[in-house]
Amino acid sequence: MAHHRMEHLKNQRAAEGAASTAPAWRRAILLWVILSCMAIAGLTAQRVSTENGMGVSPDSFGYLGAAHSLREGKGLTIPWDGGRPMTHWPPLYPALLAGVGCVGLDSLNAGAWLNAIVFAVSILALGGLVGYATRKPWCAIVAAFLLLTSADFLSVHTWIWSEPLFVCFCLFFLCLMHRYVDDPRPGVLLASAEAASLAMLTRYAGVALVATGVIAIGMFGPKPLLRKLRQMAVFTAVSCTPLIVWLIRNSIVGGTSTDRTFCWHPVTVAQVLNGFRTIAAWLLPRESPGLLQDALVITLIVIVALTVPILTGRRRREVLDAMGARWKGPCLFAIFAAAYAAFILVSISIYDANTPLDSRILSPLFMAGAGLAVCLAGLLWDVRRSAGIIVAVLIAVIALWNVLPWCGWIAERRMDGCGYTASGWASSPLTSYLRSVPADSPIYTNAPGVVFFQLGGRECHRLPSAMILTQAHPNPKFAAEVNAMWNHMVRRDGVIAFYYRGDMQGLPSGADLREMLPLKMAVQYPEETAYVADDGMKR
């Protein structure tokens, strides 16, 4: 029975080769037309969703501030807090925001168009990669449709974040690496290394692509071993050199390579469960019970684990030979997903405890998971048709299941901005009050980006942090920093402004500071308060 299956697979490959004559180019054109229509639909959905503004978070202000400084000729610096060098993030995304802004767009519109184009390109790239890996047009269409109709994935593209560009570069890398393992030419290897380098210059998590490339070369690269080792070394050197240069620059101008400190703070069960819920939300409605979401994720892991023996049974070598290169695609997706997940977990444990396992951080896993699932369905279709049909139907049901929530999310999102671009921020009474503060009086606030941009580049400072969030430890310099802030305020009649709707993670509240300093309330509005020094109790 197994022998007949092998013969069937080999005959199928021969038939595919014979069929790839005149009609093949027509099918290819039709496929790319369909994928292009999906890409245009994705671009349109992103632009419709953000017609009232891109979402802006504290990280977004960092990117926007660095882009503003770069356009002003001040380099990649954060324009508040005295213009300190930007080291917390890699340089590529704010540099692109600044570059796109040079054509006449403000930074928010530049980010909107950049993310819209990146979303369209990612849909095209995933569809093309899956189609090439499986040699099945329907797999390409299903994979692109999964990316297009995910409300969570679209949502990530409606914020000023670097993840959309990072996912796009990851897809470029996977496309080029797949081409390399099929035809190991030096030029393709160098191109894949450059794609990995661009990903690392977008997000430090791009280091996972280096591990993916090294493992892929070890598994699929040309023999002998010495040649594999040489190509691993070339790939690593080319991909890592730009990031190393950036880290050296950070150490020289900022005194830190990444604005983080190595410290042991292992990932918690709650964080892992949050990651499970994020993954489950890609497949189930958000209001589903938590236990159901956890059970779904565990079930998916078991299904993938059981799929491996089906594809790699007793006659593994004959099965893989009969499939040709079609099994390499899912392997690349799986290697990347494992490397990225491992990097995030290690990063949380020793590098940045404040990393949430939400749809933003896990968006590369959604891309890799969609590609892996559809590739496995294509392989199962060839190896065990009944299993392939079941998996393909499940994927199609999930994709169609997402359409209505996707449409509803777009209709809701287009009504207002997100984060700091929501309608309430534009009419903030506290911001109006701060406009009356003398220009030489310092402003300390939990939302320096709001003050800087809404007050036309007004100098401001972030409040001292009571916690070092990346280490999950109290800030040992907190008292000294509060005293330095107080002295600065007393000398120049400064103001402390609290936007309680904004980010307060790790920061003291107004009540906390009033216990430490002689402050009096200057103004109070709903969710907004300002304090000044109490003249009668100055220390």
* Cα–Cα dist 57/160, whole Å: 8
Predicted local confidence at residue 415, as pLDDT: 87
Quote the CA–CA distance of 397 and 368 in Å, as a whole number.
19
Compute the distance between CA of residue 60 and CA of residue 76 in angstroms, rounded to an integer: 14
Q: What is the rounded CA–CA span in Å between residue 45 and residue 238?
A: 37
Q: Give 103-122 pLDDT, tens digit per residue.
A: 777 888 889 999 999 999 99
pLDDT of 283: 76
Give long-range contacts, CB 8 A cutoff, 24+ apart: 100-106. 101/67, 101/71, 102/71
Residue 496 backbone dihedrals phi, psi, to 5 degrees: -110, 125
Estimate the share of the chain in helix, then strand, then coil, as percent rounded to the nearest 5.
Answer: 65, 5, 25
pLDDT at 2: 47
DSSP 349-400: HHT-TT---STTTTHHHHHHHHHHHHHHHHHHHHH-HHHHHHHHHHHHHHHH
Q: What residue ranges of the chain have pLDDT lower than 50?
A: 1-2, 16-22, 314, 539
Whole-number pLDDT of residue 202: 98
For 275-325, the three-class secondary structure string (H helix, E strand, C coil) is HHHHHHHCCCCCCCCHHHHHHHHHHHHHHHHHHHHHHCCCCHHHHHHHHHH
CA distance 458 to 451: 7
Angle at 356 between CA 372 and CA 270, to 5 degrees: 95
Chain length of the chain: 539
pLDDT at 449: 94
d(CA 203, CA 163): 8
Helix or strand holding residue 167 (H, E) = helix 163-182
**Burial zone of 236 (CB within 10 Å; 0-12 exposed, 13-18 middle, 19+ buried):** middle
Global pTM value = 0.90
- Beta carbons of 452 and 79 less than 8 angstroms apart: yes
Q: Considering only CA atoms, which of 172, 200, 168, 165 is closest in space to residue 188?
A: 172
Contact between residue 503 and residue 446 where contact means Cβ atoms under 8 Å apart: yes
- CA–CA separation, 319 and 188 (whole Å): 27
